[in-house]
Amino acid sequence: MSARPNTAAIAVSVAESADPCCAAPLPVLGRDVTVPLVTGGEVTYAALDYAASAPALQRVWDDVAAYAPYYGSVHRGAGYLSQLSTDLFENSRVTVAEFLDCRPGDQVVFTRSTTDSLNLLARVVPADCEVFVFETEHHASLLPWQDARVTYLNAPRTPAQAVETLERALADRDPYGPALVCVTGASNVTGELWPVKELAAAAHAHGARIVLDAAQLAPHHPVSVKELDVDWVAFSGHKLYAPFGSGVLAGRSDWLQEAEPYLAGGGASRKVARRADGGVDVEWHTTAARHEAGSPNVIGVYSIASACKALTEAGFDQLVAREQHLIDTVRAGLAEVPEVKVLSLFGDDAPRVGVISFVVEGWNSSHFAAALSAEYGIGVRDGLFCAHPLVRTLLGSEAQDPGECGAPEAAPGERSLNAIRVSFGAGTPDEHVERFVGAVKELVRDGAQWKYRTEDGRCVPDRG
């Protein structure tokens, strides 16, 4: 059933390269797609919005296509295809646990996304739990804790300050009640790596637990639950080169087992019986199934497992080294443009993944991003990146020039505060980042070749 591309050859092609900058990117879907330019002609699309959704690896797509004819119900059927699909689903759980280097006894729960994973965890924390979260978090990490006692921590300006800020906050809490710290591994705005291991040590020293939002970290760096000593980790398949809308929450089982199911329904229940008084008694599963009610997204789960295998076989050392070459190329190019300001919490020397946000003097970011797309075939992101407090902190009080289009998030009469984000990873060719750097320089020097207007909240070429 598993007719796969030669993943061993892929791994060798990366590992044998003496110079990481010359290593080939991993094959991804869409690498040969061409898009029209508003100025005429077509160009190969440069997908530089990996932080939102990374393109699917070709390996993942081929694995899913090989499985598709064998698709069947999971945990429900006696037939061969059902049994095969169940084995594939549960083996995927094992693969993800190995990818994350989980501890014995940890549970891997499949969800829809990082957002879904963190909302699940928010539902199972003890009723008197106090949650600590930095204002720099993505909304998926910032917002799910509304039913808990939440302490929001100010944006730190160094990794050491992040640890000190957390330690001070934890020292002031009730030492006898449960507590949880939620922190990102890599910022979806600046790409900067956070001191997760040190934050975990601080949390545990004060009797708190910690959950790692690895949505932006797992696609770029190895994540070891054991080494980082985090209690849970959450990530999304669509950022890990796996399509179909699945996610993962992995970690300690006790809070998960003690809480009511995230969703009530088939699959979560072990036994259901009517009572004499007309009600219903339910015995819930104590395994991961407790929080996986309903028919699971088997293809989405399998695609995550396939991506985990592909990244592991390619070798993170080489992937990280090659990505650093791309980061250096972009940062060096942007540094040559005085009008460009790169956003950063921890400074230029901070280690980071392939996520860089910036603003351009004299341009509204929406206008600039639209011109990159329409005139150069380059896809980036503009806005506040679902991390509004962080971006507003980084941008300060400086309003951007209005340009020909306003920011999608800005209501009429409000200041326009938005930025441009370029992001890339294992599937990005050198040509894409080189074209991006050249386009930034050309737009700043010569301006846009086309006129733009705001339509349905977006900046688009004016074709009228």
Q: How would you classify residue 82: left for phi > 0, otherwise alpha for psi between -120 and 50, otherwise beta?
A: alpha
User: Do you know the residue count of the chain?
Assistant: 464
Query: Which residues sit opposite 250 in a β-bridge?
Result: 108, 233
Do the beta carbons of residue 243 and residue 56 sit within 8 Å? yes
Element (H, E) at 122: helix 114-124
CA 430 – CA 421 distance, rounded (Å): 18
CA 225 – CA 279 distance, rounded (Å): 42
User: Which position among 102, 129, 308, 386 bears the catalytic label?
Assistant: 386
Task: Tell me whether residue 308 is one of the annotated catalytic residues.
Answer: no
Do the beta carbons of residue 421 and residue 314 sit within 8 Å? no
Reading the block at residue 431, the tokens are 């040509």
Which residues have CB under 8 Å from 24's CB, separation 6+? 13, 14, 17
Smallest CA-to-CA distance from 250 within 236, 268, 270, 264 is with: 236
Smallest CA-to-CA distance from 27 within 67, 56, 54 is with: 56
**Alpha carbon 396 to chain centroid, angstroms:** 25
Smallest CA-to-CA distance from 26 within 309, 410, 444, 231 is with: 309
If one counts every other C-beta atom within 10 angstroms of the C-beta of residue 96, the result is: 21
E strands within 73-228?
107-111, 130-134, 149-153, 179-184, 209-213
Positions annotated as catalytic residues are 386
